[in-house]
Amino acid sequence: MKNNASILCLYAVTPCHAGSGASVGVVDLPIQRERHTNWPVIQASGVKGALRAHFDRFKEGIKEKPAQQTFDNLADLVFGSESSDHAGSLSVGDMKILAFPMRSSAAPFVWITCPAVLKRFNKDLALAGRPVIDLNGLAALKADQALWIEGSCKEGDRILLEDMEVTAAAEMSLGDGSSWFSETERLLIVHDEVFGYGVSHCTSVMAQIKIDQKTGTTANGSLRYQEELPADTLMYSVIFWGDSRDAKESLKADTIRRYIQEEVVAGHLQVGGDETLGRGIFSLTWA
């Protein structure tokens, strides 16, 4: 299965709200989070739905009716269909956090990641048959320290992350693994607890209201607070490609993978809610 796996890196161009339903807390509409870590996540069902919606938009650009029908059949083979007796050939994983942007005294903002995130990422790299990142030197990282990547700080710098302060302890190289973080110009590796604080308490919260068109004032009971994953968040998803399961139309996994990566799902993808407010736009990089 490794040979038919890809890693899709997604960089948030706009804030994203992948909701988990209503809440009785301060935030009415929180984002999806992992139960055991409380880290932000976008569940696989939402990612797969976004890919399917992207497929449908791509079809609208096809002018010839026969080509549209062929594309409809392909979408059913890849994603499955309620009217068919077979599952789709695509297996989509959750969108997991890789680096999170935080307001900082060292720059307008920096990106943070942590040993626990990188260790998990290594497991997913191994699952997809990719070289893992050398993480030697992370075990001694203390709660008030940070390691910086490729000259973004200097030793001894005191860096304020929101209302937490860390000290730059040493520079670290991720080797070939730095290519996964090419869009994060100021990357810090912080302690797991600092990262947990950042992703738990430093997300965006947006107030939404509904205006009564007759009175021009706020409709009663319409005020709500919605949590959003901030722009510039870096995430990834592991995607497995399989041969089509329809006995009548056989397509190999490599054919499906090349077509999707090179022609259909490229450039940008919209994930989550509030599409008409410009939310959830991610730029895509296929590994």
* pLDDT single digits (tens) 219-239: 887 788 999 999 999 999 999
Of the listed ranges 2-6, 16-20, 38-42, the one predicted with least confidence: 2-6
Q: Is the pLDDT of residue 2 over 50?
A: no
* pLDDT single digits (tens) 88-124: 888 999 999 999 999 998 888 999 999 999 999 999 9
Please give the Cα distance from 152 to 144 (Å, whole number): 18
Short-list 199, 206, 214, 182, CA closest to 287: 182
Structure token digits, residue 187: 């990357």
What's the pLDDT band for 156 if we cut at 50, 70, 90? confident
* pLDDT single digits (tens) 231-262: 999 999 999 998 877 767 777 888 888 888 88
Q: Residue 199 belongs to what H/E stretch?
A: helix 192-201
Cβ atoms of residues 103 and 165 within 8 Å: no
Short-list 125, 107, 119, CA closest to 179: 125
pLDDT over 70 for what percent of the chain?
92
Query: Could you tell me whether strands 187-190 and 164-172 are parallel, antiparallel, or unpaired per DSSP bridges?
Result: unpaired
Q: Is the pLDDT of residue 137 over 90?
A: no
- What pLDDT score does 63 carry? 67
Q: Is the pLDDT of residue 42 over 50?
A: yes
* pLDDT single digits (tens) 3-13: 589 999 999 99
- What pLDDT score does 152 carry? 67
Of the listed ranges 58-62, 139-143, 255-259, the one predicted with least confidence: 58-62
Please give the Cα distance from 76 to 140 (Å, whole number): 50
- Angle, helices 115-127 vs 192-201, to 10°: value is 90
Amino acid sitting at position 273: G
| Average pLDDT taken over every residue of the chain | 88
pLDDT over 90 for what percent of the chain?
53
- What pLDDT score does 67 carry? 65
- What pLDDT score does 65 carry? 60
Q: Is the pLDDT of residue 1 over 50?
A: no
* pLDDT single digits (tens) 83-97: 667 788 889 999 999
CA distances from 27 to 31, 142, 202 (A): 10, 32, 13
Q: What is the rounded average pLDDT of the residues 185-191?
A: 94
Query: Which parts of 93-157 are beta strand (E)?
Result: 95-103, 109-113, 145-149
